[in-house]
Every structure is written in C-alpha cells, then in structure tokens.
C-alpha cells in the first residue's frame, strides 16, 4: 500500500517494537489518553528520550 509506506517513511518514532507504528490513529489515541502526544510532535533530541508528555511539549514552546 503506497500510503502506508509513506507513513512508515515519515514516522520519526525510535521506540522499538511498538505495535502502533504505521498506524497514526491508534498512535495518537494511545498517547492522548495518557495526556501525551505522538513522537512526531517532538524534535529528535526530545523524541529519543521517549518523554511524550503534553507538559514536555508545552515546555518546548516557551
Ligand atoms: S509515538 Fe508512541 S504509539 Fe506512536 S509509534 Fe511511537 S511509541 Fe508507538
């Protein structure tokens, strides 16, 4: 599937073995219910810490 391959290519998440990789709706749903955001909301240096909290996201905007 072409669109799925594009999602794989664009997904910046480095968390290994996540079943939600390449499934943006489930990825977003799983994080937002924990007051978090997906990996693609964070710059690489923050993404690799796996801190996906909204609090951390907002701290980037100051
Ligand atoms: S951001 Fe979270 S849910 Fe999405 S692929 Fe990465 S670890 Fe999985």
pTM for this entry: 0.84
pLDDT band at 1 (very low <50, low <70, confident <90, very high): very low
Is the separation of the CB atoms in 13 and 45 below 8 Å? no
Is the separation of the CB atoms in 42 and 52 below 8 Å? yes
Strand, coil or helix: what is 18? coil
Residues with CB under 6 A from ligand 1: 13, 15, 18, 20-21, 27, 30-31, 38-39
On average, the pLDDT of the chain sits at: 89
What whole-number distance in Å separates Cα of residue 37 and Cα of residue 1?
26
Q: Which of 6, 14, 20, 8 is nearest to 44 (CA)?
A: 14
Report pLDDT digits (tens) over 27-55: 999 999 999 999 999 999 999 999 999 99
Q: How far is the CA of 54 from the centre of ligand 1 (A)?
A: 14
């Amino acid at each position: 599937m072409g669109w799925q391959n594009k999602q794989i290519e664009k997904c910046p998440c480095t968390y290994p073995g996540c079943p939600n990789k390449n499934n943006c709706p489930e990825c977003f749903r799983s994080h937002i219910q924990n007051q978090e955001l997906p990996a693609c909301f964070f710059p690489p240096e923050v993404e690799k810490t796996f801190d996906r909290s909204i609090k951390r996201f907002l701290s980037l905007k100051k």
